[in-house]
Amino acid sequence: MTGVVLAFAAFLPIWALTGAGWAAGRTGVLGEQAQTVLGRFAFTFAMPALLFLTMSRSRPADLAQPGIAVFALSLLVVFALAQSLGRWVFRRGQGDRAIAAMAAAYVNSANLGIPVAIHVLKDTSFIVTAALFQTLLITPVILALIDLDVPRERGERWRRMLTLPLRNPIVAASGAGLAVSALGWRLPEQVTDPLELLGGAAVPAALFALGMSLHARTRPDAEGRAERRVLVALKVVGQPLLAYAVGRWLFGLEGHALLSVVLVAGLPTAQNAFLFAAEYRLDEDLARDTVLMSTVCSMVSLSVITWLLAA
């Protein structure tokens, strides 16, 4: 019962903000372009501010630990599997395959992961390190795959790949924050305070935009429903099971270390998948539905993981 209560407490703010966004979209109180504007604000300003501060206070050396290696392997395997299914089974273009793979493997490490870590693990160090891995290594790969989906001459394609960190605010902000951390700089409050305020709007804005999109949701066909079920199953069942198997039998993890890896791997899809799909005009419906479905299902799966491994 404790696991269920903890999961419900962690999910409640997500549902509240998403529900408020749905109500705003249904009533039209913010106008027809509000969802687009709010999503772009989160992608271009708020999320980069949050990631800059997070990276500037991070320690990249923390990536060199067995738990992160297990988490990375589980994420990469599920990501590659979703990519393959998108290409050979669901016949997706490269950009939409990247979004689908992100929906299947990229965990909600911020607004859900941190509360879960505080309430269940009693420690946020692992979830912060997992977020660091996703931001530094996985996000650029996803954005590169999306960017490569646009037909271009070979020379221009390489130019765009090399300049991706400068053109994309999320990658640029993460890289700048990492540089600050590597140099050992301590930023003054005059710099961090405005960024704290702006970054604090990232998660609420993303969830609000996600909720607003529900009002215009279209019902998928049979193949679309099947794809959503597969992605959600990979996220809330496949990834944590793989993390458990690799962690226990390949890396010899047990106890709290094993619980940390499996619990974080079992977190639902990050709302960033929806933000990326909306920003690059890809399949928003797929990303939104996977975020919502995986979030609902993970209320049960995270409770089961906690019950089985925290004893």
Q: What is the pLDDT of residue 290?
A: 95
Closest residue by Cα to residue 86 from 77, 96, 78? 96
Helix, strand, coil percent values for the chain (each to nearest 5):
80, 0, 20
Q: What is the pLDDT of residue 182?
A: 87
Mean pLDDT by 10 residues, the chain (311 residues): 59 82 91 88 88 84 86 97 96 94 92 73 81 88 84 58 69 86 90 93 86 77 93 97 97 93 94 89 92 87 86 62
Taking the domains of the chain in order of start, what are their residue ranges? 2-309
- The amino acid sitting at 240 is P
- Exposure of 157 in the CB half-sphere (CA atoms within 13 A): 11
Q: Residue 82's Cα: distance from chain center in Å?
A: 15
DSSP class per residue in 37-101? HHHHHIIIIIHHHHHHHHHHT--GGGGSSHHHHHHHHHHHHHHHHHHHHHHHTS---HHHHHHHH
Global pTM value: 0.82
Which residues are registered as beta bridge partners of 107?
269
What is the rounded end-to-end Cα distance, in angstroms, of the chain?
A: 13
Backbone angles phi, psi at 8, to 5 degrees: -60, -45
Q: What is the pLDDT of residue 118?
A: 67
Q: What is the pLDDT of residue 164?
A: 63
**CATH class belonging to 2-309:** mainly alpha
Q: What is the pLDDT of residue 216?
A: 65
The answer to whether 234 and 226 are in contact (CB under 8 A) is no
